[in-house]
Amino acid sequence: MVYKKILLPAIIGSAFFLGACGDDATVAPVNNPNPSSAIIYPTLSSSSIYIPTSSTPAPTSSTPAPTSSTPAPASSAGGTASYAALAATANPAFAINDYAVWKSYHFTTEEQEMLTYPTLATEFNIVFTAGYVPAGRVIWSNQTSYYKNYCSDNNTTVQTMKYRACTVSEGVGYGMLLAYFNGDDDAFLRLWNYTRAYREYSGRRLMPWITQSFYWIDVDNSSATDADEDIATALILMYFKTGNALYLQDALSFISAIWDLEVNPSNLLIYSGDEDAWKGDAPVYNLSYFSPVALRLFAMVDASHNWTGVLNAMYAYMQKVQDAGTGVFPDWSDDAGVAAKPSNGSANTTYWQFNKESVRIPWRIAWDYYWYQDTRAATILNKLNSFISKKANGDPNDMALAVNYSWNLSVGKDYTSNTVIPPQWYGAWCATGIAGNPTWLATCTTGLNAKLPSLTTQSYFSDILLTMYAGLLNGLFVRPAGI
């Protein structure tokens, strides 16, 4: 008899144990270490805003056929009426190649996995029924301790993949955005089917945080808000690109669940996940989960919830946190805007640092500035850039970029043991120059374009963020018509 495999709750728990992925893939979540490491589209008018109605098609198990498309890079210099200026050194061709290199190692299809994990493959069709193929996934890092038994297949024919059978929802969201901006409709479709199948089979409104290959095992079905935002954002973008209502309908189902389960109704701040552990009387927030572009798109297609209120509340909170410290952000902070430990124990020795969570903040805020030139985004980015420019004496290649700085030295010290600048941090500090330091941005973009994904079994996080920053800063983040 085929059945869902359920692990003991006392062993696996929920997102209470690991709600945020960051770049820690190999240790028990209670003991995380420090890391080692011109196109102008029409302006949206009120008459073009999509308002869902009762006539919106209901979601079905049918799958749109993939199309063939190539990205149309934005202008690499000077800016336009629609976009903020990128560096004159921006190179769209590099970013496209970077994506191809990343995908060659970190993305796989169900068909490929049938050969890699022959034992697991005998039950792939339980989750991935005919309505959810073709499918693909983003491969998480090699696991050596806490998740080792959940992310493995001892019968794999590829030894380097033995403990790489897991995918995290964050990777699905990032992967869908990267596929969209690179015009890779086949990869987009496969990743979308991946989340559709798991949500259907597990009976969840949001994407389970961690899944095993294309096979069912109940590792952790709780959600991570950043992933849910990114998946919904990618679906909205694809809807505007193709006009296919199935994309929009699924995006709206995500949006409704995010509102119900991942937004604090008392202050409109974004929780880190859907589990009660992230809520309660003293929630702790992760500012790298604040995606301004996502919230703007949600407001565009969902008039029934106050997404503009969430956007404004999150920007106000972000500025409060930044202004209260050195100029960088802590990985985690409380209602008062003070660095605080998350309840999952994942950052007991790093929570006050601009570290493995916060490395994503410059990408999200720079993306908002690039598309919408929000003055709040400019203020935040310029403060970050002023901080690092002083530390690095104006040189983006200075080792000052390798430090994980403290939000407040009275709370905890900087982490200074990195011996190289991790590539995701190089991209992050580059992005801080987009709103007010073109010299920094130009030099840094040149340096960024000398880097490629390292393609190791431990480089999931650094490689995917490097590819994301490369896409943004080289002009691949092109808005579809109507947005």
pLDDT band per the 50, 70, 90 thresholds, residue 87: very high
> Of 36-40, 128-132, 325-329, 439-443, where does mean pLDDT reach its minimum?
36-40
- For residue 333, which phi and psi values (nearest 5 degrees)? -150, 160
Question: Which residue spans within 38-131 are E strands per DSSP?
Answer: 107-109
Residue 209: exposure state from Cβ atoms within 10 A (0-12, 13-18, ≥19): buried
- Residue 327 pLDDT greater than 60, yes or no: yes
Q: Are strands 284-285 and 166-168 parallel, antiparallel or unpaired?
A: unpaired
**Are 75 and 39 in contact, with CB atoms under 8 Å apart?**
yes
Q: Which of 349-378 are b and which e, b meaning 16 or more Cβ less than 10 Å from the residue's Cβ?
A: ebbbbbbbbbbbbbbbbbbbbbbbebebbb
**Are 369 and 434 in contact, with CB atoms under 8 Å apart?**
yes
**Are 201 and 124 in contact, with CB atoms under 8 Å apart?**
no
- Residue 290 pLDDT greater than 90, yes or no: yes
- Calculate mean pLDDT across residues 216-232: 94
- Calculate mean pLDDT across residues 443-469: 98
- Residue 357 pLDDT greater than 90, yes or no: yes
**Are 301 and 52 in contact, with CB atoms under 8 Å apart?**
yes
**Are 456 and 139 in contact, with CB atoms under 8 Å apart?**
no
181/379 Cα distance (integer angstroms)? 26
387/429 Cα distance (integer angstroms)? 10
235/251 Cα distance (integer angstroms)? 6
Both tokens assigned to 175: 């992967």
pLDDT value, residue 344 = 87
Both tokens assigned to 21: 């992925």
- Calculate mean pLDDT across residues 418-441: 98
* Residue 418 CB neighbours (<10 A): 17
Both tokens assigned to 25: 């893939």
Q: For 311-321, how does the pLDDT look when each residue is reduced to its tens digit (9 = 90+)? A: 999 999 999 99
H or E element that contains 137: strand 136-138
pLDDT value, residue 53 = 39
Q: Among 444, 433, 307, 426, which residue's Cα sits nearest to residue 380?
A: 433
**Are 381 and 389 in contact, with CB atoms under 8 Å apart?**
no
Its sign, for the CA torsion 254, 466, 79, 76, is negative
- Calculate mean pLDDT across residues 194-208: 96
> Of 38-47, 91-100, 125-134, 160-169, where does mean pLDDT reach its minimum?
38-47
The domain spans of the chain are 70-262
159/224 Cα distance (integer angstroms)? 30
pLDDT band per the 50, 70, 90 thresholds, residue 9: very low
pLDDT band per the 50, 70, 90 thresholds, residue 44: very low
Percent of the chain clearing pLDDT 70 (strictly above): 83
> Of 340-344, 446-450, 474-478, where does mean pLDDT reach its minimum?
340-344
pLDDT value, residue 64 = 64
- Calculate mean pLDDT across residues 78-82: 58
Q: Among 307, 291, 252, which residue's Cα sits nearest to residue 50?
A: 252
**Are 363 and 469 in contact, with CB atoms under 8 Å apart?**
yes
- Residue 30 pLDDT greater than 50, yes or no: no
Q: Which of 36-63 are b and which e, b meaning 16 or more Cβ less than 10 Å from the residue's Cβ?
A: ebbeebeeeeeeeebeeeeeeeeeeeeb
**Are 77 and 442 in contact, with CB atoms under 8 Å apart?**
no
Which is more confidently placed, 53 or 393?
393
DSSP state of 216: E
pLDDT band per the 50, 70, 90 thresholds, residue 1: very low
pLDDT value, residue 400 = 98
